[in-house]
Amino acid sequence: MSITMPTPDEATLAKREYIVAAMREIVPGEGVIDDPDGLRPWESDGLTAYRQPPMLVVLPETVEQVSTILRWCHAEGVRVVPRGSGTSLSGGALPLADAVLLGMGKFKRILDIDYADRMAVVQPGVTNLAITQAVEEAGFYYAPDPSSQIACSIGGNVAENSGGVHCLKYGLTTNNVLGVELVLMDGEVLRLGGRHLDSSGLDLLGVVVGSEGLLGVVTEVTVRILPKPETARAVLVGFADPEAAGACVAQVIADGIIPAGMEMMDKPAIHAAEAFVHAGYPLDVGALLIVEVDGPAAECDHLIEEIARIAQANGAVTTRVSQDDAERMTFWAGRKAAFPAVGRISPDYYCMDGTIPRRRLPEVLRRMEELSQKYGLGVANVFHAGDGNLHPLILYDANVPGELDRAEDFGNDILRLCVAVGGVLTGEHGVGIEKRDLMPEMFSEDDLKQQQRVKCAFDPGLLLNPGKVFPTLHRCAELGRMHVHHGEVRFPELERF
How far apart (Å, rounded) are the C-alpha atoms in residues 205 and 372?
Answer: 40
Share of the chain above pLDDT 90, in %: 83
Using one digit for the tens of pLDDT, what is the confidence trace for 338-362?
888 998 899 999 999 999 998 898 8
pLDDT > 90? residue 424: yes
396 close to 365: Cβ distance less than 8 angstroms = no
How confident is the model at residue 49, as a pLDDT?
Answer: 87
Closest CA to 91 of 466, 442, 430, 443: 430
233 close to 302: Cβ distance less than 8 angstroms = no
31 close to 60: Cβ distance less than 8 angstroms = yes
Using one digit for the tens of pLDDT, what is the confidence trace for 246-266?
889 989 999 999 999 999 999
pLDDT > 50? residue 196: yes
Task: Band the pLDDT of 201: cuts 50, 70, 90.
Answer: confident
**C-beta atoms surrounding 486 within 10 Å:** 4
What's the mean pLDDT when you consider all of the chain? 93
Using one digit for the tens of pLDDT, what is the confidence trace for 139-182?
999 999 998 899 999 999 999 999 988 999 999 999 999 999 99
pLDDT > 70? residue 110: yes
pLDDT > 80? residue 3: no
**C-beta atoms surrounding 325 within 10 Å:** 12
How far apart (Å, rounded) are the C-alpha atoms in residues 187 and 239?
Answer: 55
226 close to 141: Cβ distance less than 8 angstroms = yes
Q: Which residues pair with 489 in a beta bridge?
A: 484
How confident is the model at residue 486, as a pLDDT?
Answer: 59
Radius of gyration (C-alpha) of the chain in whole angstroms: 24
How far apart (Å, rounded) are the C-alpha atoms in residues 95 and 477?
Answer: 26
Task: Band the pLDDT of 475: cuts 50, 70, 90.
Answer: confident
- What DSSP designation does 399 have? T
Q: Are strands 56-58 and 99-103 parallel, antiparallel or unpaired?
A: parallel
Provide the whole-model pTM: 0.91
Higher-confidence residue: 282 or 198?
A: 282
